[in-house]
Amino acid sequence: MKKVLVATDKPFAKVAVDGIREIVEKAGYELRLLEKYTSQDDLIKAVEDVDAMIIRSDIASREVIEAGKNLKIVVRAGAGYDNIDLAAATEKGVVAMNTPGQNSNAVAELVFGMMVYSARANFSGASGTELRGKNIGIHAYGNVGKYVALIAKGFGMDVFAFDPFVSAEAMEKDGVKPVDTIEKLYSGCQYISLHIPANAQTKKSIGENLLSLMPKGATLVNTARKEVIDEDGLLKVFENRPDFKYLSDIEPDNKAEIAEKYSGRYFFTPKKMGAQTSEANINAGLAAARQIVDFFEKGITTFKVNK
Ligand code: 3PG
């Protein structure tokens, strides 16, 4: 009997786990759960004799992948797969997949939750500002970026996007103004919403050069990955521009310094929670379970991300 491990340091909602169990057991497989584990050793132990693994931001390092003696497939229930050692997976013949689009709306809604909170003076009762009429620049127009555009239009914002991998026509069809350079995006928008993945090209790519271009009343919203920010550059912008605010779904490494010096100009979630809704857990979790069954039963590898 095939064994499927759901290893989630940040557990799915119960309703999603129930749905995953149903799919897995209906296929005749066994479901194993490892939630809120405290060390990587727990994961290494749990993966030892399973055939498949579903993870979220959990780290599927080389050590973890190599520990899975029977492991054939790892599905990241979510979008970003920077937490999987893809080279190790490929070397070991393990298929790595993600579930693109399944948690995108949840992340996009959090973007606006943080933006309204910040624009309204952190709900302090002091006079704030409105989103209507402001420009928002979407940096990378993928699944989350599209939902951000949709919601931004509801707020009456002017929506711009930069993405070298998406055609201007596709953006225009969504009522989004395409911008052909990253510098133009940053210099034209009070709000920038980041949706780039974390990889060798993007890590530390958002820093002083780009952020200094933003117009007065600048707010950077990061629901992507903290690694894409050049935190030294970020601190310089905080220092040089009293109008600059930073909202991030997960604390930056230099949170303590920002909190000490720039009170009222930041908001950080204590734990990444953009995708932490029942709906997103159901969408991504069940998609992951179905992809595993389809892989074993029909050899389908549609969302494979490694070579
Ligand atoms: C993703 O890449 O899908 C999001 O960052 C969500 O991550 P999570 O599953 O750890 O909440």
236-281: pLDDT as tens digits: 999 999 999 999 999 999 999 999 999 999 999 999 999 999 999 9
Residue nearest to atom 10 of ligand 1 (CA): 57
Same domain membership, residue 222 and residue 178: yes
H-helix or E-strand containing 111?
helix 104-119
Query: Are 5 and 32 within 8 A, CB to CB?
Result: yes
Place of tokens 């490929």: 90
Please work out whether the CB of residue 272 comes within 6 Å of at least one atom of ligand 1. Answer: yes
Q: How much is the pTM?
A: 0.97
Q: How far is the CA of 127 from the centre of ligand 1 (A)?
A: 34
Could you give the 3-state DSSP secondary structure of residue 138?
strand
- Of residues 94, 29, 102, 295, the one with CA closest to residue 6: 29
Please work out whether the CB of residue 195 comes within 6 Å of at least one atom of ligand 1. Answer: no
- Of residues 12, 64, 67, 63, the one with CA closest to residue 35: 12
Same domain membership, residue 135 and residue 73: no
pLDDT digits (tens, 9 = 90+) for 54-113: 999 999 999 999 999 999 999 999 999 999 999 999 999 999 999 999 999 999 999 999
Residue 261's pLDDT is 98
Query: Are 193 and 223 within 8 A, CB to CB?
Result: yes
Mean pLDDT of the chain: 98
Asked if residue 194 is part of any domain, the answer here is yes
**Percent of all residues in the chain with a pLDDT value above 90, rounded to a whole number:** 100
Please work out whether the CB of residue 79 comes within 6 Å of at least one atom of ligand 1. Answer: yes
Residue 28's pLDDT is 98
Please work out whether the CB of residue 285 comes within 6 Å of at least one atom of ligand 1. Answer: no
Residue 101's pLDDT is 98
Place of tokens 């054939």: 72
Band of pLDDT at residue 179, cut at 50, 70 and 90: very high
- As a whole number of angstroms, the distance between CA 146 and CA 174 comes to 8
CATH, residue 290: 3.40.50.720
Asked if residue 307 is part of any domain, the answer here is no
Residue nearest to atom 6 of ligand 1 (CA): 275
Same domain membership, residue 286 and residue 178: no
Asked if residue 258 is part of any domain, the answer here is yes
Closest atom of ligand 1 to CA, residue 81: 2
Asked if residue 303 is part of any domain, the answer here is no
Q: How far is the CA of 266 from the centre of ligand 1 (A)?
A: 21
Asked if residue 306 is part of any domain, the answer here is no
Please compute the mean of the pLDDT values over residues 41-56 and round it to a whole number.
Answer: 98
Please compute the mean of the pLDDT values over residues 41-51 and round it to a whole number.
Answer: 98
Q: How far is the CA of 56 from the centre of ligand 1 (A)?
A: 6
Asked if residue 304 is part of any domain, the answer here is no
Asked if residue 90 is part of any domain, the answer here is yes
Residue 272's pLDDT is 96
Please compute the mean of the pLDDT values over residues 202-230 and round it to a whole number.
Answer: 98
Same domain membership, residue 159 and residue 30: no
Please work out whether the CB of residue 76 comes within 6 Å of at least one atom of ligand 1. Answer: no
Tell me how many domains the chain contains: 2
Same domain membership, residue 126 and residue 29: no
Same domain membership, residue 180 and residue 159: yes
Band of pLDDT at residue 142, cut at 50, 70 and 90: very high
Residue from 56, 107, 148 whose mutation best tests the ligand 1 pocket (most atoms within 8 A of CB): 56
Same domain membership, residue 47 and residue 59: yes
- Of residues 230, 276, 235, the one with CA closest to residue 255: 235
Same domain membership, residue 90 and residue 235: no
Residue 3's pLDDT is 98
Band of pLDDT at residue 289, cut at 50, 70 and 90: very high
Q: How many residues does the chain have?
A: 307
Asked if residue 17 is part of any domain, the answer here is yes
Domain with 290, as residue range(s), is 3-102+277-298
Residue nearest to atom 11 of ligand 1 (CA): 275
Same domain membership, residue 264 and residue 164: yes
- As a whole number of angstroms, the distance between CA 50 and CA 42 comes to 14
Residue 183's pLDDT is 98
Same domain membership, residue 194 and residue 171: yes
Band of pLDDT at residue 122, cut at 50, 70 and 90: very high
Band of pLDDT at residue 52, cut at 50, 70 and 90: very high
Q: How far is the CA of 297 from the centre of ligand 1 (A)?
A: 27
Same domain membership, residue 131 and residue 25: no
Same domain membership, residue 222 and residue 136: yes
**Identity of the residue numbered 222:** N
